[in-house]
Every structure is written in C-alpha cells, then in structure tokens.
Amino acid sequence: MPLATAIANSVHTLQGSFGAAPEVGVILGSGWAEAAAQMREVRTMPYAQLPAFRSTSVEGHAGEIAVGRIGAQRVAMLRGRTHTYEDGDCAGMAGAIRSLKSWGVRLLLQTNAAGSLRASMPPGSLMLITDHINAPQRSPLVGEPGNARFVDMGAAYDPELLAHARQLAQFHRLALAEGTYLWALGPQFETPAEIRMFAAWGADAVGMSTVPETILARHAGMRVLGLSLMTNMGAGLGFESLTHAATLQQAQASGSYAGQFLADLIASLADLPSLRP
Ligand code: HPA
C-alpha cells in the first residue's frame, strides 16, 4: 500500500474510533510509561489496525496508540516507536507522524532513554532537549519532493515550549538539565572513543532515536519538545558495561518521577494559549 494511502486509512480509523484529534501527541520511550498510567478515559488501538504505523521489535516498547486525557489536556500516546537500527530505515516513523499531523495533532512531545556525557547528569537525571546532533547524517526526508524538504532546523525544539517546561520544572522544584541530544545509529552501544568525540562535539546525551522523528515532525509542521531520561553514563564514563537490560532497569527505577513530570507537563499544556485552535 502506498504511504499516502496508508496515512489516509489510518487517519480515517483514528477519527472513526477516537473522534477529533488531541492537540498533543507523545512518543513514549523507555522509562516514560508511568505517564500513561495517569491518563483518564483511555482507549487504545494496536498499531496493527493502523496501516501507516509500524510495530517494533524492541523489548520494552509495545506497539499501540492510547488516547485519553491528563487533567484537561487530551493526548494521544504512541507506546512504541521503530528505530533505524531495526531495519536500516530511518523513515520508519514517517507514516505514524504524518498520520498524527493529518489527524490534527499539533505538538509532538518526544521522550527517550539516553546515555549521559556529563558528570553533572548522573543516571536518573532528566534533560530537556534544546538541540540535537544527527551524527549518522541520515535523513528520513531523502527522496521527498519539492522545497518543503529543506526544513529549517534552527529552532527544532520549540522555544516557547522549552520555556514552558523550564517554568513547570521550577514550579515543582524538579532538577531539569538541558542539553544537546546526539543520535547514534546503534544498536551496539558506543565505544569510549566515540563518547569522547561526541562530548567534544558538544553533545550532552546520546541515544538511538528521536532525531529522525523530530525531522519528520518539523517537516510536517508540528511543534516539537523532547525529554531524555539518563539511564547510564556513556561508555567509558561509568564503571559498568552497558546492556539493554541495565538501561531498562534504570529507566524503570527512575520512571516514576520522569513519568510524573511528563504527566504534569501534558496537563499544563491545557493552559497554553498557543496550542488552542
Ligand atoms: N547509548 C546509546 N543509547 C542509549 C544509551 C547509551 O549509552 N543509554 C540509553 N540509550
């Protein structure tokens, strides 16, 4: 099925099942699932029923969309994202993101688990993503026609939403770091030499997702905000060797306040005038 048809079918199904789109869409990464527990009036649908949504092979990531409400804010949560390392395709989330946008979602809130490159951000820290580095230099927009593909990435992470998130963290007296997220293709973890290089480039955290989705969302005309949960120090900076199980375990250990902050953030968006139609 051509992608455009898959998107049209998906939007039709989303609309038919959930009605009008919420303003806010969330991609739930490892460690952030707790926020979903705070949703009310939740209804879910497996990606298998949405032809533009690809399911994922990664442990710790389900494959369903959950639509509900946190406080006064309606929200659609994607539980599970595909990663470029699964099949080499960095546009695996194109169908899902374009479906959300075409349904009517205006803001994409991205969450992920990441390795920290800064001693001041130990495992368990939360980081607001202020910018990113596309280290593999791969783009999900390769092959897109027309001039819309030349997306301005000068303020990819929305300045107004960044200010809003900072204010909320301050209000809750929550330590919220800020920094640049670097996308590494994976699935292998980095070498210590790579981590030193990434830090010298100006990266503060490293992970295997998020950047392709930000590019897709900006191309689609959505506003983007991103949050990283540090699950480990980057290779060579900590004492332990890195495993997926250990990062998941740390993600779960920190998940309750990460999820709580995400839920508070989503609820607070109901007060943001610029998100209203
Ligand atoms: N590197 C890459 N991705 C990650 C890491 C890491 O150290 N931790 C969690 N996701």
What number does CATH give the domain 3-275?
Answer: 3.40.50.1580
Per-residue pLDDT, averaged over 133-145, amounts to 97
Please state the rounded mean pLDDT for residues 146-155. 96
What confidence tens digit (pLDDT) does each residue in 75-120 have?
999 998 899 999 999 999 999 999 999 999 999 999 999 999 999 9
Nearest-CA residue for ligand 1 atom 2 is: 207
277 Cα to the center of ligand 1, angstroms: 37
Q: Residue with the nearest Cα to atom 10 of ligand 1?
A: 114
pLDDT category of residue 65 using cuts at 50, 70 and 90 = very high
Residue 135: the pLDDT is: 98
Question: Which residue has a Cα nearest atom 9 of ligand 1?
Answer: 114
pLDDT, residue 1, reads 85
3-state secondary structure of 246: helix
Query: Tell me, what's the pLDDT at 61?
Result: 56
pLDDT digits (tens, 9 = 90+) for 213-264: 999 999 999 999 999 999 999 998 987 777 888 777 877 777 778 899 999 9
Amino acid in the structure at residue 238: G
Please report the atom of ligand 1 found closest to the CA of residue 233. 7
Q: Contact at 8 Å (CB) between 150 and 266?
A: no
Angle, helix 211-220 to helix 94-103, in steps of 10 degrees: 40
pLDDT in tens, 168-203: 999 999 999 999 999 999 999 999 999 999 999 999
pLDDT digit string, tens, across residues 14-62: 999 999 999 999 999 878 888 888 899 999 999 999 999 998 777 655 6
Ligand 1 neighbourhood includes 242 CB (under 6 angstroms): yes
Residue 13 pLDDT greater than 90, yes or no:
yes
Mutation pick for ligand 1 pocket among 231, 233, 243, 249 (CB with most ligand atoms within 8 Å): 231
Q: Tell me what percent of the residues of the chain surpass a pLDDT of 70.
A: 97
Ligand 1 neighbour 254 (Cβ under 6 A): no
Q: Is 22 in the pocket of ligand 1 (CB under 6 A)?
A: no
| CA of 52 relative to ligand 1 center, distance in Å | 27
Q: Which of 62, 32, 27, 26 is nearest to 248 (CA)?
A: 32
Of 251, 217, 257, nearest to 132 by C-alpha is 217
Locate the domains of the chain by residue range.
3-275
- Alpha-carbon distance 77 to 145, whole Å? 29
208 lines ligand 1 (CB under 6 A): yes
